Structure 1
Amino acid sequence: MFDATTLYVILAVAYAAVLRGMAGFGFAIAAVPILSLFIPPLEAVAMAVLLQVVVGLHDLVKLRGAVHRPSLLRLCAGSLIGTPLGIWALSALSPDAARMAIAVLVLTGLAMLLRYKPTAPQPHSGLALLAGVASGAFSGLAAMPGPPAVVYYLGAGTPPAQTRASLLLFFFVASVIAVPGLWLAGAIDGEVLWLTAISVPPMALGTWAGTAAFARLDHAQYRKIAIGVMAISAVLAGWRGLSVYL
């Protein structure tokens, strides 16, 4: 049934998809807070994950030749290790405290990136694996796998097109890993599947528009936009965690 809630959901997805298409990340951090205004937060997370799985299948076919394969494989392997560690740590640390800790870590990492600008690509296999473990831990702690992977690629000086492609496929893998847990938690039901299905076209359209915008960015512009999106994400995550204690 199409109602006001459905319309708001579609608009939120389209907006977040533009960001995803342009930067290669940021969909969940933009979509989930807005979707949570109209549907339960757990359902919002489930929708974001399912949409990234569906659209990620297209990315897997289209972008598989554009990724930095060695780092992507290590990120995925590290995420498999880090996710259960993050879930285990969640038992000792509340989700809101975890969000604040992640916000501090991300802002610290971004401050370092602002001071360090590699003049040539410098991918490092060990750091990629470590970033994957950290991404998995962030995902288990607060459903935020992105920051370590983004910081790794920006710090390595990987070309924007390769960075964007690698991030899109990494988040596809991270979303696939998250689906079973969401299913067992009861977050995926008929309504979520319906909202996900009708949101696929605006998700695809927004991604297309963001991709067109990305094509006009040079390396310096992409880096600034990526750092800006990360900073906003960290602030939102930290505020969400802090608001519980205010």
Structure 2
Amino acid sequence: MDLFTAYEPWQLIAALAAAFGSAYVRGLTGFGMAILLVPVLALALTPIDAVLLANFLSIFIGMSEIVRLVRGAERSAWIIAGIVLLTAPLGFIALSLTTPSVARLIVALIAFSAFLAVLLPRRPAAQPGMVATGGVGVVSGLMTGYAGMPGPPVVPYYVGRDIPRETAKASMMLIFTIAPFAGLATGAVLEVLDWQLALLALGLFPAVLIGNKLGDRASGRMPDPVWRTFVGVVLAGAALAAFLRLL
């Protein structure tokens, strides 16, 4: 299938706008690109193709700023990312066996659970123990494979702690750069990865790059309490949009 001719122009324009908007939110909050982008892409693509396309875009934008992410991330980010790589294939296999309607329901529940998690009181800055960190990695890996969304367990892990904003953002972004490799590798092994998605991702990438840059600049001018409130608003909006789509 030729991905550049299989869809109407309005669908490609919608994908471009979604790529820009979700990347802006990523630059502003440190997360949110996949959570916002996958449901919109799924309007034009199959759920599997939407996840894989989001994976390509997450890798492209993450590699464009990898030096800054490695320098600023907490050590726990490497642990979580490693576990994600090991467990994501299980989530992707589950996605390949699930009907689109069920997959969309689960994606909506994932987004809603992340919103509830950030409402909890902030915890001390100290890194949680290995059990908690490992659990975040496992759940994030399953969500990476199933919905292309490693964020729901990762965001509360960092944003919910009293650590510097830039440390939280760099840690989340590093995980979100590494995690998609597992999804793409699994898709290739299962022979459901259409490599034309990489070309489509390249076509959308300029919008992602610009949106991410503008969002990062806006983040630098935003007070920390406002930033954390915006994180909750983004998660709430993603959950609401996902549930509305089910109706």
TM-score in same-fold range (> 0.5) = yes
Instruction: Name the CA distance, whole Å, in 1 between partners of 2:65 and 2:117.
Output: 31
1:188 is aligned to 2:194: yes
Q: Which amino acid aligns with 2:166?
A: A
1:37 is aligned to 2:35: no
Q: Which amino acid aligns with 2:224?
A: H
Native 8 Å contact 1:100 1:239 kept in 2: no
Query: 1:151 — aligned with what?
Result: 156
Instruction: Name the CA distance, whole Å, in 2 between partners of 1:40 and 1:178.
Output: 15
Native 8 Å contact 2:120 2:160 kept in 1: no
Cα offset for 1:36? 3.1
Instruction: Name the CA distance, whole Å, in 1 between partners of 2:111 and 2:209.
Output: 29
Report 1:175-214 matches (<5 A).
175-183=180-188, 184-190=190-196, 192-214=197-219
Alpha-carbon displacement from aligned partner over 1:159-218 (angstroms, at most 9, x marks no partner): 21111111111011111111112334433233x233212222111111000101111122
**Identity over aligned residues, as a percent?**
29
Which runs of no fewer than 5 residues in structure 1 stay unpaired? none
Q: Which amino acid aligns with 2:62?
A: G
Match of 1:20 among 26, 30, 45: 26
Partner of 2:71, secondary structure, is coil
1:53 is aligned to 2:44: no
Give the root-mean-square deviation of aligned CA atoms.
2.9
Instruction: Name the CA distance, whole Å, in 1 between partners of 2:20 and 2:145.
Output: 26
Native 8 Å contact 1:89 1:141 kept in 2: yes
Partner of 1:128, secondary structure, is helix
Q: 1:95 to 1:180 in 2, by over 3 A?
A: same
Q: 1:34 to 1:93 in 2, by over 3 A?
A: closer
Report 1:1-246 matches (<5 A).
4-5=9-10, 6-68=12-74, 70-87=75-92, 96-97=101-102, 100=105, 103-104=108-109, 107=112, 110-111=115-116, 113-118=118-123, 120-126=124-130, 127-183=132-188, 184-190=190-196, 192-240=197-245, 242-243=246-247
Instruction: Name the CA distance, whole Å, in 2 between partners of 1:182 and 1:87.
Output: 8
Native 8 Å contact 1:124 1:156 kept in 2: no
TM-score by length of 2: 0.82
